[in-house]
Amino acid sequence: MHDLILVLKKDEIKKKTEIIAHEISSYYQDRELIVIGVLKGSFIFLSDLVRKLTIPVKVDFIRVCSYGYSDSSSESINLTKGIEIDVKNKDVLVIEDIVDTGLTLSWIVDYLKAFNPKTLRVCTLIDKIERRKATIKIDYAGHVAEKGFLVGYGLDYAEDYRGLPDIYHLKL
């Protein structure tokens, strides 16, 4: 068992999710939005977020694996599940749990651009800025964190802690 330090309580996550959902609902009003969750980490955030949207939405998922393990973000990315909905000429919003170096998200953006969506925006629950390597525009971020390894509310450490309702800093 690791030392876990509380970073975001579930009530704060809820508030932040509501704010983002409101922004997204206004921005995409009268449009047909497809949200694409990045598995596995985004599954809880996405499910809470879509229930707060006041616009119709279609949901798809993508899964990428990075070589490396646990706390190390990847240099090398492998697609293990691609999109199943046709996004050509559609408004697409990628939903991430956390952006660290940005390499995963920038790979995903390139992958999705190849399907010629009408628009492509990015939403993450946590924008962790210290180790950013890729230049990437994040359109919606729930919470900005300087650094540290975070777990809970979908985020894992070697597949543990995803089910925690709050978000913690895990001391390695």
Among the listed residues 105, 101, 104, 151, the one whose alpha carbon sits nearest the alpha carbon of residue 128: 101
Nearer to ligand IMP, 84 or 159 (CB): 159
- The pair of structure tokens assigned to 137 is 């525009």
What is the spatial distance between Cα 96 and Cα 126, in angstroms, rounded to a whole number? 8
Pair type for strands 119-128 and 91-99: parallel
96 lies in the binding site for ligand IMP (CB under 6 A) = yes
Pair type for strands 3-8 and 140-145: unpaired
97 lies in the binding site for ligand IMP (CB under 6 A) = yes
User: Helix or strand or coil: residue 93?
Assistant: strand
127 lies in the binding site for ligand IMP (CB under 6 A) = no
What is the spatial distance between Cα 51 and Cα 147, in angstroms, rounded to a whole number? 29
Residues in the interface with ligand IMP (CB under 6 A) total 18
The item of ligand IMP, Mg ion, none sharing an interface with residue 101, based on CB under 5 to 8 Å by kind, is ligand IMP
For residue 142, the one-letter residue type is: G
104 lies in the binding site for ligand IMP (CB under 6 A) = yes
CB of 127 to ligand IMP, least distance (A): 10
Question: Which chain residues interact with Mg ion by CB under 5 A?
Answer: 38, 41, 97
Nearer to Mg ion, 31 or 63 (CB): 63
Among the listed residues 91, 90, 94, 131, the one whose alpha carbon sits nearest the alpha carbon of residue 109: 94
Active site residue 3: no
Q: Count CB neighbours of 36 within 10 A.
A: 23
Contacting residue, 37, 102, 117, 152, with ligand IMP by CB under 6 A? 102
Nearer to ligand IMP, 46 or 150 (CB): 150
Footprint of ligand IMP on this chain (CB under 6 A)? 41, 73-74, 96-105, 128, 149-151, 155
- Residues with active-site annotation: 100
